[in-house]
Amino acid sequence: MSRTLTLTRPDDFHLHLRDGAMLQGIVGESARDFARAIIMPNLVPPVVTGAQAQAYRERIMAALPGTDFTPLMTLYLTEATEAADLLAAHRAGLIHAVKLYPAGATTNSDSGVRDFDKARPVLEAMAEAGVPLCVHGEVTDAEVDIFDREAVFIDRVLDPIRRATPGLKVIMEHVTTKDAVDYVRSAESGLAATITTHHLIINRNHILVGGIKPHYYCLPVAKRESHRLALLEAATSGDKRFFLGTDSAPHADDAKENACGCAGCFTATHTMPLLAQVFDAAGKLDRLDAFTGHFGADFYGLPRNSGTLTLERSETPVRFAEKIDTGAGPVTLFDPGFDLHWRVKP
């Protein structure tokens, strides 16, 4: 017997599409199930101006013939970002958010912000114009333990920025800790968080026990089980401040399976089946629609999608390809470590 679940067509509020041959190879994986996605600007070089965002959007659309997927562009905040350019790109409907990477925090973040005071005038202009700020929330200080970097970022950087810039809409991206969940819940307004698929499934043991698993390495790195449970509780709670941002971040296998492997998990292909299984196992399947189709759009001030996506559960496990072949090399799909019984109905 099979069970089905029809959802609002989902959106992905944090996605890496890359560029060139990788973009060509992977963009269809998101466009198949998702209506829209917030596109991360951490290309090399990063997308920092409205003109660059426009050109990147055109490259994405050119790689996507015949689908109605809508990329929602973002700008990469640097210490040299000009408020006028940013505001014009927002007014034109081209960009939907600005991304703050602390310099050196993650993949391709070298142009990020070192001195947060330098970003203050731009943040104030964004608050006034209602442009949301997406934040990679980790400090980069060498003396801070990698497992503590998110919690320390909240106290040292994020809370001071929010206090100094009242009215700024902030999305804490890919939260990995109970500290972040609690912080989002403590805010009166203007704060939300994205949660990834993989952080609902793995904890740090999955990365390290029984041999190092490079395909589970991402940033922020997965934390201990109690934190995963806090994320699962938040995602399935029906709290509108938590919504899906897959952070699907493809890297070619040779860059992952490497003595200095890149951070990023690739989940675009099977995120909706994975989430259905996770929400089902938690007894919260009825909460999936809001998590993937309502809360993010509402926070960003976008209309909810009118289309639908139907998932079905089968008794026999559903097989997904182990890798996607791209012109930039093979990309390994995230392996949840359990049999998947859900799939998107064709």
Ligand X SMILES: NC(=O)N[C@@H](CC(=O)O)C(=O)O
Task: Name the site residues for ligand X (rule: CB under 6 A).
Answer: 16, 42, 106-108, 136, 218-219, 247, 249, 263-264
Task: Tell me, rounded to whole angstroms, the distance of Cα 277 from its chain centroid.
Answer: 19
* Amino acid at residue number 331: V
Say if residues 217 and 107 touch (Cβ distance below 8 Å): no
DSSP letters of 314-338? -SSPPP--SEEEETTEEEEPP--SS
Output 187 or 263, the one with its CB closest to ligand X.
263
The minimum distance between CB 2 and Zn ion, in angstroms, equals 34
Q: Which does 42 bind (CB under 5 to 8 A by kind): ligand X, Zn ion, none?
A: ligand X
- Among positions 57, 90, 136, 169, the unique one binding Zn ion when judged by CB under 5 A: 136
Q: Which does 218 bind (CB under 5 to 8 A by kind): ligand X, Zn ion, none?
A: ligand X
Residues 138-197 that bind Zn ion (CB under 5 A): none
Record the tokens describing residue 169, joined without a space. 């809409």
Query: Is 247 labelled a binding residue?
Result: yes
Query: Is 179 labelled a binding residue?
Result: no
Output 53 or 125, the one with its CB closest to ligand X.
53
- Among positions 12, 33, 85, 247, the unique one binding Zn ion when judged by CB under 5 A: 247
Record the tokens describing residue 75, joined without a space. 């700008």
Question: Residue 289 catalytic?
Answer: no
313-334 per-residue burial string, b: 16 or more CB within 10 A, e: under 16: beeeebebeeebebebbebbbb
The minimum distance between CB 241 and ligand X, in angstroms, equals 20
Q: Which does 215 bind (CB under 5 to 8 A by kind): Zn ion, ligand X, none?
A: none
Query: Is 200 labelled a binding residue?
Result: no
Distance separating alpha carbons of residues 51 and 240, to the nearest angstrom: 33
| Torsion of Cα atoms, 131 then 177 then 17 then 40, to 10° | 20
Query: Is 294 labelled a binding residue?
Result: no
Query: Is 42 labelled a binding residue?
Result: yes
Query: Is 321 labelled a binding residue?
Result: no
- Among positions 106, 176, 236, 326, the unique one binding Zn ion when judged by CB under 5 A: 106
The active-site residue out of 11, 12, 239, 247 is: 247
Say if residues 12 and 244 touch (Cβ distance below 8 Å): yes
By 3-state DSSP, what share of the chain in percent is helix, strand and coil, each rounded to 5?
35, 20, 45
| Strand order, beta sheet including 342-344 | 3-8, 308-313, 342-344
Say if residues 87 and 64 touch (Cβ distance below 8 Å): no
Output 11 or 247, the one with its CB closest to Zn ion.
247
The minimum distance between CB 263 and ligand X, in angstroms, equals 3
Binding-site residue positions for substrate: 16-18, 42, 136, 219, 251, 263
Binding-site residue positions for Zn(2+): 14, 16, 99, 136, 174, 247
- Residues lying near Zn ion in the complex (CB under 5 A) are found at 106, 136, 247
Residues forming the active site: 247
Binding-site residue positions: 14, 16-18, 42, 99, 136, 174, 219, 247, 251, 263
